[in-house]
């Protein structure tokens, strides 16, 4: 349940729960795929999919119950004089759901404005009394990351052998580095992630094609993805989570749906502001 509630928190929730187990067998050639992406970016600079001031709001539903609200906000910052984006994600249970299971989560990421490399990641969560207070600082010159578990008063060091993203920076990295022409239906996007003391693990996201969704804003053409998740107590099977991203220059999550061991849960885009590009709505 604790890891499931992380899914509730974040709009790009597939990144949170997608690989709680460090199963290297799920992802092949992750290093090569990631390096190829970086090469495409440096060889041809692309326009950013987002800008400071972007704000996204998501509402989570469990059946008829409005379970929680999550927001993501992009700001500008500096890390040791280097221009960076500062993204703040917040998630809370609301209404009746907060009576049964109270969640109050905050995630923050500082990452480079040019290449998307993370510099600092902060994770402060309180999920029904289950708490974490973690900060990770990435030193790319020394190819290492230092994790500070403030709650348990312990520190860990990880070697950055390949390019790596944290939980939030991965979302924005993907938005800036994948175009429709990069995607092949049935094939997967792969990269490495670090956001907890479990260490660095490979993340896999399969592209399933285009689909038009009916939303509160109107019809939206989306790209559908399926992250690989750990089946068991929460999810029915390894491919129980689906994500729909707007097929426009913004590439924002429009819907997330998860089939759970008991029932299903859905998160929809509920509000937005400060988008860099026009949000494309299909007019009937």
The answer, yes or no, to whether residue 230 has pLDDT greater than 60, is no
Q: Which of 30, 271, 58 is closest to 163 using CA atoms?
A: 30
Residue 71 lies in a domain: yes
Residue 281 lies in a domain: no
The answer, yes or no, to whether residue 110 has pLDDT greater than 50, is yes
Residue 137 lies in a domain: yes
Residue 47 lies in a domain: yes
Q: Domain range spanning residue 54? A: 2-273
Residue 278 lies in a domain: no
If pLDDT is split at 50, 70 and 90, which confidence band does 161 have? confident
Task: Note the pLDDT of residue 19.
Answer: 34
Contacts for 63-66 with beta carbons within 8 Å, 24 or more apart?
Answer: 63/263, 65/95, 65/96, 65/97, 66/94, 66/95, 66/97
Provide DSSP, 88-119: EEEEEE-HHHHHHS-EEEEEEEEEETTT--EE
pLDDT digits (tens, 9 = 90+) for 17-66: 333 333 333 333 333 343 344 434 444 567 899 999 999 999 988 766 67
Instruction: Flag the least confident range among 62-76, 177-191, 235-249.
Output: 235-249
Task: Note the pLDDT of residue 247.
Answer: 97
Residue 87 lies in a domain: yes
Residue 75 lies in a domain: yes
The number of domains in the chain is: 1
Residue 16 lies in a domain: yes
Task: Note the pLDDT of residue 47.
Answer: 86
In terms of pLDDT, which residue wins out, 183 or 190? 183
Query: What integer best gives the mean pLDDT of the chain?
Result: 81
């Amino acid at each position: 349940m604790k890891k499931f509630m992380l899914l509730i928190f974040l709009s790009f929730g597939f990144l949170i729960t997608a690989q709680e187990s460090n199963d290297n067998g799920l992802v092949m050639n992750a290093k090569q795929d990631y390096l190829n992406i970086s090469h495409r970016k440096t060889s041809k600079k692309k326009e950013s999919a987002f800008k400071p001031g972007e704000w996204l709001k998501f509402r989570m539903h469990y059946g008829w119950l409005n379970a929680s609200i999550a927001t993501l906000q992009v700001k500008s910052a500096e890390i040791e004089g280097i221009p960076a984006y500062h993204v703040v994600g917040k998630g809370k249970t609301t209404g009746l759901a907060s009576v049964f299971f109270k969640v109050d989560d905050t995630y923050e990421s500082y990452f480079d404005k040019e290449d998307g490399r993370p510099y600092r990641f902060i994770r402060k969560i309180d999920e029904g009394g289950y708490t974490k207070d973690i900060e990770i600082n990435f030193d790319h010159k020394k190819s290492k990351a230092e994790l500070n578990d403030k709650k348990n008063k312990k520190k860990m060091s990880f070697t950055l052998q390949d390019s790596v993203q944290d939980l939030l920076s991965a979302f924005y990295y993907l938005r800036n580095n994948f175009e429709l022409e990069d995607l092949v239906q049935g094939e997967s996007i792969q990269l490495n992630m670090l956001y907890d003391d479990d260490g660095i693990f490979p993340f896999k996201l399969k592209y399933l094609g285009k689909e038009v969704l009916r939303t509160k804003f109107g019809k939206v053409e989306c790209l559908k993805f399926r992250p690989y998740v750990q089946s068991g107590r929460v999810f029915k099977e390894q491919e129980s989570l689906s994500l729909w991203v707007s097929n426009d220059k913004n590439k924002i999550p429009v819907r997330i749906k998860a089939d759970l061991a008991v029932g299903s849960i859905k998160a929809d885009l509920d509000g937005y502001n400060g988008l860099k590009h026009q949000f494309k709505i299909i007019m009937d």
